[in-house]
Amino acid sequence: MVTMIIIRHGYSVTNREKRFTGQMDVPLDAVGVVQAQNTAKYILDTYKVDRIYASDLSRAYETARPLAEALGLEIVRRRDLREADVGIWQGKPIAEVQAEYAESFAAYKENPGLYAFEGGESYAGVVARAARAFAEIAAENEGKTVVVATHGGIVRAIRTAWDRVPLEKMKDIPHVPNASITVAEYDRGAVRWKTVGYDGHLEDKTTEEGVK
């Protein structure tokens, strides 16, 4: 069995600006930096961590860094832990996308699990990518506790994969908050969720969901 502590990255510059970020590399904003510090303290006080993984995008890596520095552990960066590639929407304000791509935006909101971003990925592909990445991480860490710092879309995708939720029902799985902690015990495909989207450790530094 592997204990997976999955962290959604802290509040980023583009979360604040309400933009579709996708795989654009942006930093945490000042609130996100504090969230990362608070998350590290909570995990240090609550778990014994053996290894740390993160998306190679800055906002996820920076979220994991305070914990890694406190423990003296390296962060293993993985490109396959990146957020969904949102294609031509990347970097655009949500309001602009909603106005300029009204029909496709409505389709995305109505049923994201069946949606494919123009010039980017489908959520079917994101779910498959997340499942492969987490299976590899689990295989490398039998009997250990690992932290995975990633993105809201990937947290949603791995919940879809592990719970065997049909893609058309993915819309019923809500996004978790910034810098929230989701913990699962994973044993050769069997999953027991211990907590999902916990952000009580952030106290007065909780933020709105924002966008990916």
Distance of CA 29 to the CA centre of its chain: 17
Give the DSSP H or E segment for 139: helix 123-140
Measure the CA–CA gap between 36 and 180, rounded to whole angstroms.
Answer: 10
Angle between helices 30-46 and 58-71 (to 10 degrees): 40
Task: Tell me if 16 sits within 8 A of 212, measured CB to CB.
Answer: no
Choose, from 83, 121, 151, 201, the residue flagged as catalytic.
Answer: 83
Q: Is 83 tagged catalytic?
A: yes
* Helices and strands counted in the chain (H then E): 7, 6
Q: Which residues are catalytic?
A: 9, 83
